[in-house]
Chain A
């Protein structure tokens, strides 16, 4: 019985935190962009505009829902869910802390401790693109279709880099289990960033492409494709695409933290209590979420051929070389 209660509480807390993060991100995006451009950003709803996400949500629900003529109604309707659900599911394996002891119960701080956690996240990341492609195809609009096609081409190109950069970390830890990966990085100097700086750079670049964020947001490239795959969407389904994007960003930021920055490990305080670890994890993840916004308002979008050249001719060879060197060093030092 207690097992089930603990499990349900964990699901509610993690899922709630993910959705809250998405809501905060929608405000943070506008606030940070405003501050970088000498503006105030939304500041009318509530103090400093903090209730803006609530107002946005109400507005989204009140809006009329349109389905374009000639659209494939079934696919058009399920595409946003297909885009948002994988991102929300992926957060389940992220370990956001070590082991907590509350009222005599030992609780591992992650919803599910899969021994193939990384594989699970990558599989769901691959599924996430289906929502984008189907949404673009089902809309019966050339802009949406082009957006969807670009998204699929981009995902295939950058998923390889993403996986290979993760593979270097997996080689270091000797496990696909995210819990083992953070256990291996408990001490500050054991953080993977110090051993795998190249993998970190590659992962971070691929992370932007994987979540369709600037400077790789070809799926919704406004000047060329109006709105890309979500051109024809309105109301809550449009909001669901956005929710999916922000959830995917949150998961990627958390994964970056877990793989390279020690997850919940606190520098120079090895026996920190579990809640300090959780705070450390949140702080690190927040930094990467900020980085998403920061980069968006700094860099211009690449051209599509530049994106492909960067993916296949620069990042992929580097990632392959990194895996080979890492593997060779581990094999040599093992004997």
Chain B
């Protein structure tokens, strides 16, 4: 139990007016301070490689997708946002996706697809803005998902660094 001792107010405090004037002077001084609001569309959000934005597909330097449509990301996705149809090709990687769709309205940006991918084909980009007029427009196909490797390089390096840390750690269970 705590017994609170109420402080006896002095006469000046009981008159209220001096205290009100003090309060007014405080708000008036705040009046001239610079606003700390970020003007969002003009002033973009700070981003770095840790930012886990929307997933994007890597386009290798030879112009083809790195994806071999193995379906591991599709299986890893907890929100069932990914749909893949693949087919065989004559190139050494033998398979590529014919259809690779991520329903951005379902995607929860968890990054499990990035972790699951054995081919370094899907990475979380720093793209965060997501708005459109219809639901259909927000189901992204290969056209909207593909990005050159250079655009995702920072994230790729970051993921490698994190994975190496776990791999080289002596205290792994």
Contact = CB atoms under 8 A, between A and B. Distances in A.
B160 to A, nearest CB: 41
Interface in A265-308: 294-295, 297-299
B130 interface: no
Interface of B: 17, 20, 23-24, 26-28, 30-37, 39
Contacts of B31: 32, 35-36
B17 A299 contact: no
A37 interface: yes
B35 A35 contact: yes
11 contacts: A32-B31, A34-B35, A36-B27, A36-B31, A38-B34, A39-B37, A201-B17, A294-B24, A298-B20, A298-B23, A299-B23
Contact of B27 (A39, A201, A298): A298
Interface in A28-78: 32, 34-40
Interface of A: 32, 34-40, 201, 294-295, 297-299
A37 B17 contact: no
B23 A38 contact: no
Given A298-B23, A298-B24, A36 B30 contact: yes
A32 B39 CA distance: 18
Contacts of A36: 27, 30-31
A53 B17 CA distance: 34
B21 to A, nearest CB: 10
A288 to B, nearest CB: 13
What 3 A-B pairs are tightest by C-beta distance, nearest first? Answer: A298-B27, A38-B36, A298-B23
Contacts of B35: 34-35, 38-40
A294 B36 contact: no
Nearest to B26: A298
A295 B23 CA distance: 9
Given A36-B27, A36-B30, A37-B30, A299 B20 contact: yes
Contacts of A35: 30-32, 35
B28 A294 contact: yes
A34 B32 CA distance: 11
Contacts of A299: 20, 23
Nearest to B22: A298
